[in-house]
Amino acid sequence: MKLLIVDSTTEAQAFCAKRIEAFNQSDMEMLDLKVKLVSERDFMDRVNEADVLVLGSGLGERGTALARQAMSTVPWLHIVMFVTDEAYGGGAFRAAHSAGVRKVFPDSASPLDFLQELVAIHAEFRREGRTREGRVVAITHAKGGVGATSIAAALTEVCSVYHRRTMLWDLDVETRDLSRSLTVNGVEAKVVSAWVNGSREISRESLKDALIPISSDVSVLMPPDRMAESMDLVCHTDGMTLVQRILELSRVLFDVIIVDTAGRMGPATGTILRSADVVLIVIDDTILGLTAVDLYLTFVKTLVGGTDRIVFLVNPYSGALLGVPQIAAELEPAHNLGELPWRLPPVPNDPKAALWPGSGRTLYSMGQKSTRVVLERIAREIGLIDTGTKAPQLPSNGAEGPSSGGWLGKLLGRSGPSRQELSGTRKDVTGGEGKS
């Protein structure tokens, strides 16, 4: 969010800017604040670049005229005005609001009052689509072996193909199936450990240092590099604050955040499920899978706060057991889910595509056309890609595709730009090559 501060003198501009300096660093990063100071003589040259215009008290009655002038040029601009304590009153309110000013503060107002107004403006920007608000999808499962990790990787590749900036978060702290399948292994995991043990603060820059870019659009966040920090992250209540902070920063930096929770329940996972825009529960079509989901839903519904954000994805074990309608019919009497959580098509049984781990590809690019079509439909249904975006041109059969041009091929040393070339937004990558 771009702030343009206008006041009568350089000193007055700096005084106004000090209110922002009083904000917590985390608040400034969440709002993605970019501040410019300018004089009243030059502000019209910069007002088109601003999201919020801040008029200082040194302008006096001229502030109202500047507000009116700015609104005539940029009607969607949000204007905040400061006045002296003596001028703060009904007359100042009426004059300012008639000129299009959103909020009037006295000079003695707390910086927190100013912050609250900026947070409200930022929330409006998110609703209007004027600022990045990454969509969080938490992928979980009621029992292991249902292919949740394969789905997480495949949906990430769909996002990459459609040029959606995506963070793939591997939260499987024990086996790290996702990272191993993608052949991702780097010293960046030490940064995550440092967040957990408190030796490094989580910030926008340290998050960039922790990410391993695997394409121009996709980066992976690994679990901590040590088991002690891994257990603290997912099992200790302190992990709740940490994962919430990671999600908040990720929403600013990425269009999509896909979290492979590995089905583990704990304080951190609960926070992720409560914060997610979509909770994607991957299930198979077996009897044991059905009974596991039945038990799982008894507490997940309470944890998530209802069923409006829960979506089921059936990944068939053989394609010849329980169908989606039958599974839904069995669970409906006990859980009152309705039709919406069952709107996704089942993933086709694709044995060749199941061999994707370590191949430099995923279920999406390695699968048959029918598999890719379903995965794209799933991505659209849960809001990962736009409905009107044209589908990419891929081979009709995954086996016919190029063996070295996959989106993950660079991780295996096959082709593609270097890791440094992929880290355009990163700063001081913390050593290593980010791959095995």
Residue 245 lies in a domain: yes
pLDDT > 70 fraction of the chain, expressed in percent and rounded: 87
Compute the average pLDDT of residues 71-100.
91
Quickly state the pLDDT bin for 298 (edges 50, 70, 90): confident
Judge if 284 and 381 occupy the same domain.
Answer: yes
Q: What is the pLDDT of residue 254?
A: 94
Judge if 112 and 163 occupy the same domain.
Answer: no
Judge if 158 and 124 occupy the same domain.
Answer: no
Give per-residue pLDDT as tens, 205-232.
999 999 999 999 999 999 999 999 999 9
Domain boundary among 100, 128, 156: 128
**Number of structural domains, the chain?**
2
Judge if 175 and 120 occupy the same domain.
Answer: no
Q: How many Cα atoms within 13 Å fall on the side-chain side of residue 359?
A: 22
In one-letter notation, the amino acid at residue 433 is E
Residue 159 lies in a domain: yes
Which CATH number belongs to the domain containing residue 312 in this structure? 3.40.50.300
Judge if 236 and 113 occupy the same domain.
Answer: no
Quickly state the pLDDT bin for 410 (edges 50, 70, 90): very low
Residue 182 pLDDT greater than 50, yes or no: yes
Judge if 104 and 164 occupy the same domain.
Answer: no
Closest CA to 215 of 4, 14, 415: 415
Token code pair at residue 172: 């499987």
Which CATH number belongs to the domain containing residue 88 in this structure? 3.40.50.2300
Residue 141 lies in a domain: yes
Judge if 279 and 354 occupy the same domain.
Answer: yes
Walk across the sheet containing 256-260 and list its strands. 211-213, 218-221, 166-170, 256-260, 135-141, 278-283, 310-314
Question: What DSSP line would sit under 120-166, residue for residue?
Answer: HHHHHHHHHT-S--PEEEEEEESSSSS-HHHHHHHHHHHHHHTT--E
Residue 433 lies in a domain: no
Give per-residue pLDDT as tens, 193-204.
999 999 999 988
Distance CA 65, CA 97 (A): 12
Contact between 409 and 418 under an 8 Å Cβ cutoff? The reply is: no
Judge if 168 and 55 occupy the same domain.
Answer: no
Domain hosting residue 195, numbered range: 135-422
Residue 214 lies in a domain: yes
Distance CA 155, CA 375 (A): 7
Residue 430 lies in a domain: no
Q: What is the pLDDT of residue 389?
A: 67
Residue 396 pLDDT greater than 90, yes or no: no
Domain boundary among 128, 143, 158: 128
Judge if 415 and 311 occupy the same domain.
Answer: yes
Across-strand partners of 280?
139, 311
Quickly state the pLDDT bin for 429 (edges 50, 70, 90): very low
Judge if 325 and 245 occupy the same domain.
Answer: yes
Quickly state the pLDDT bin for 393 (edges 50, 70, 90): low
Judge if 153 and 27 occupy the same domain.
Answer: no
Which residues, 6+ apart, have CB-to-CB distance to 227 below 8 Å? 173
Q: What is the pLDDT of residue 160?
A: 94
Q: Which residue has the higher pLDDT, 430 or 419?
A: 419
Domain boundary among 96, 128, 160: 128
Closest CA to 162 of 426, 398, 356, 364: 364
Residue 432 lies in a domain: no
Quickly state the pLDDT bin for 403 (edges 50, 70, 90): very low
Residue 428 lies in a domain: no
